[in-house]
């Protein structure tokens, strides 16, 4: 397939590659521009490819709940300037809408758009975590989005059985700020618990605690560990005299998801 100088220029604008590299890419791919873009990326000659090793710890999280389905999408960038741009935030929202409608794997439909964003914004743009929760009959789903400088940075979804939307929202607010790593203590892998127990035992010995008292001291410290990492054991953020379990009453947390920029 033949190509023209305009094709070379179009490829350069699309990829940020040099003129000779763009020409070589078109020659190697019989004038097929899409194939030439991929060729440049694989050779590390496109501007997007050269950005792949940069750190992108900024970004935005988009949150959407429609009916019984909720989605969170993290779109990562290098700077908060890009993360706060309307175009960038809208793309994250578009992705969240797609996940609600079609499922987590549907984000692949916008891969080409994300590649174009890398070139347009001249940053390492990358899809981060994607979460989707759905409430079954008799369950409720609600959410919380923490917004900072005009962009979502910390999003939570919670599905409850036996509770209402307000309670689900309250638990979502708690999760946003308490950042539990597990739903219940039983969900923590045994090797993680064993490692913590061994660490607490060493610390207690180094503090000169009596050998006979070690088991009780270690178990007490383990209880503190569970309160840090297991949602149902945590003191409730709005009233630390109650645990999350006590606040739930007869309700049950079926599932929760949290996505936070930089986490």
The full set of domain ranges for the chain reads: 5-50, 58-179+254-260, 189-229
pLDDT at position 238 over 70: yes
* Predicted model pTM: 0.78
pLDDT tens digits along 64-113: 999 999 999 999 988 888 889 998 999 999 999 999 999 999 999 998 88
Q: Which CATH class is domain 189-229?
A: mainly alpha
pLDDT at position 51 over 70: no
Domain covering 5-50: architecture: Orthogonal Bundle (1.10)
Task: Name the CATH superfamily for 58-179+254-260.
Answer: Elongation factor Ts, dimerisation domain (3.30.479.20)
Beta-ladder partners of 127 = 75
Those residues with Cβ within 8 angstroms of residue 42's Cβ, 6 or more apart along the chain or in another chain? 49
pLDDT at 21: 77
Helix axes 19-28, 5-15, angle to 10 degrees: 110
For range 189-200, the mean pLDDT: 94
For range 226-242, the mean pLDDT: 96
Beta-ladder partners of 252 = 161
Query: Dihedral sign, CA of 229, 231, 236, 240?
Result: negative
101-110, 116-125, 152-161, 220-229: least confident range:
116-125
pLDDT at 45: 55
**Quick one: pLDDT band at residue 119, thresholds 50, 70, 90?**
confident
Question: What distance in Å separates the CA atoms of residue 232 and residue 248, rounded to the nearest whole number?
Answer: 9
pLDDT at position 227 over 90: yes
Helix axes 19-28, 33-42, angle to 10 degrees: 120
What is the pLDDT of the chain when averaged over all its residues?
Answer: 89
């Amino acid at each position: 397939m033949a190509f023209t100088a305009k094709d070379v220029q179009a490829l350069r604008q699309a990829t940020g590659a040099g003129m000779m590299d763009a020409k070589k890419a078109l020659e190697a791919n019989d004038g097929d521009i899409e194939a030439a873009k991929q060729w440049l990326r694989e050779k590390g000659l496109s501007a997007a490819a050269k950005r792949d090793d940069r750190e992108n710890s900024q970004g935005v999280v988009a949150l959407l709940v429609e009916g019984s389905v909720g989605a969170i999408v993290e779109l990562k960038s290098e700077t908060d300037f890009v993360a706060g741009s309307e175009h960038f935030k809208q793309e994250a929202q578009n992705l969240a809408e797609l996940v609600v409608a079609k499922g987590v794997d549907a984000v692949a439909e916008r891969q080409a758009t994300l590649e174009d964003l890398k070139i347009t914004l001249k940053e390492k743009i990358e899809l981060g975590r994607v979460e989707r929760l759905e409430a079954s009959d008799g369950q409720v789903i609600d959410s919380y989005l923490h917004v900072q400088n005009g962009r979502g940075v910390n999003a939570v979804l919670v599905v409850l059985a036996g509770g209402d939307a307000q309670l689900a929202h309250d638990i979502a607010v708690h999760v946003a700020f308490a950042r539990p790593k597990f739903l219940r203590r039983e969900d923590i892998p045994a090797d993680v618990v064993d490692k913590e127990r061994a660490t607490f035992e060493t610390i207690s010995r180094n503090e000169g605690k009596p050998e006979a008292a070690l088991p009780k001291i270690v178990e007490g410290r383990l209880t503190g560990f569970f309160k840090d990492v297991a949602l149902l054991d945590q003191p409730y953020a709005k009233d630390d005299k109650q645990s999350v379990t006590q606040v739930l009453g007869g309700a049950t947390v079926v599932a929760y998801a949290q996505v936070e920029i930089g986490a």
